[in-house]
């Protein structure tokens, strides 16, 4: 199935889904890019910029495809720079401020583990353009996973301070992991159409992989978290997203219609 043969009835759900994927990549890429020039040492500064560039590349591809599926002539830039917070579909996890290096690494690890499994599954999507993007993005996300996994071991099993910071980050971030695996009508429609994968299977694989690494890193997952954050996929976000967009969209908003 491609753009031409796509069933009209499925377009709205697919558009919505591509926004979720694209916005995750865009907002995470933006947060990672904030590290540029401020990394813990030069080599890692360069590494973080590479991660950011990968994510922004995925965002561009996914949002371009979203615009094509929507069929109203919106480009990736229109979608990135001219929507307000309530129209964004990213999970709340990626919009949280970058925090310290431990926070960035834990988020990166939790997200990359998820993204690797997701893109791996999406390679089998019957919607060919999405399968194509997934195959390309998967290669890069595998490196993100290798990078963040090595770091999480170092930080978790490094010094007392690094352990404390990393454990704190994990405690803070854990409640944002549930949202990555939420299933709603949109997703169900796409899963039935073999466009999106079954999230239940994905979740158990994710959980097993995360637990193994966390154990190696001497970190523990909060038991019975009282609340799992939700809402991002419906446009309900934390306060942080508004500030992020104010900064990111400043030029497009201040000079409507100008070319850059």
Instruction: Give the interface with another protein as residue ranges (CB under 8 A).
Output: 30, 33-34, 36-47, 49-50, 52-53, 56-57, 59-60, 76-77, 80-81, 100-101, 143, 146-147, 150, 153-155, 157-159, 161-162, 165, 247-248, 250-252, 255, 258-260
Closest CB to another protein among residues 10, 27? 27
CB of 42 to another protein, least distance (A): 5
CB of 54 to another protein, least distance (A): 10
Most distant pair of Cα atoms in the chain: their distance? 57
CB of 10 to another protein, least distance (A): 26
The DSSP element (H or E) to which 70 belongs, if any, is helix 42-70
Q: Which DSSP category does 100 fall into?
A: S
Strands (E), 5-92: none
DSSP 105-164: HHHHHHHHHHHHHHHHHHTT-SSHHHHHHHHHHHHHHHHHHHHHHHHHHHHHTS-HHHHH
Closest CB to another protein among residues 35, 206? 35
CB of 47 to another protein, least distance (A): 4
Closest CB to another protein among residues 81, 203? 81
Burial of 66-80, coded b for 16+ CB within 10 Å and e otherwise, reads bbbbbeeebebeebb
Closest CB to another protein among residues 41, 227? 41
């Amino acid at each position: 199935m491609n753009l031409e043969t796509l069933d009209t009835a499925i377009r709205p759900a697919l558009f919505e889904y591509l926004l979720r994927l694209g916005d995750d990549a865009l907002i995470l890429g933006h947060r990672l890019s904030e590290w540029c020039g401020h990394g813990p040492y030069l080599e890692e500064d360069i590494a973080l910029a590479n991660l950011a560039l990968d994510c922004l590349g995925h965002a561009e591809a996914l949002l371009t495809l979203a615009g094509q599926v929507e069929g109203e002539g919106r480009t990736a830039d229109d979608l990135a720079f001219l929507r307000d917070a309530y129209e964004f579909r990213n999970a709340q996890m990626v919009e949280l401020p970058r925090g310290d290096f431990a926070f960035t690494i834990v988020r990166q690890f939790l997200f990359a583990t998820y993204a690797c499994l997701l893109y791996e599954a999406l390679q089998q999507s019957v919607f060919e353009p999405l399968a194509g993007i997934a195959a390309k993005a998967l290669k890069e996300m595998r490196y993100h996973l290798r990078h963040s996994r090595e770091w999480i071991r170092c930080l978790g099993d490094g010094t007392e301070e690094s352990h404390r910071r990393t454990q704190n980050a994990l405690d803070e971030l854990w409640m944002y992991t549930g949202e990555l695996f939420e299933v709603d009508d949109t997703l169900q429609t796409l899963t039935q159409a073999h466009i999106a994968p079954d999230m239940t299977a994905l979740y158990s694989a994710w959980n097993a992989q995360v637990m193994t690494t966390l154990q190696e890193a001497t970190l523990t997952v909060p038991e019975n978290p009282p609340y799992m954050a939700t809402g991002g996929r419906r446009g309900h976000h934390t306060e942080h997203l508004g500030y992020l967009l104010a900064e990111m969209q400043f030029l497009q908003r201040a000079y409507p219609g100008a070319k850059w």
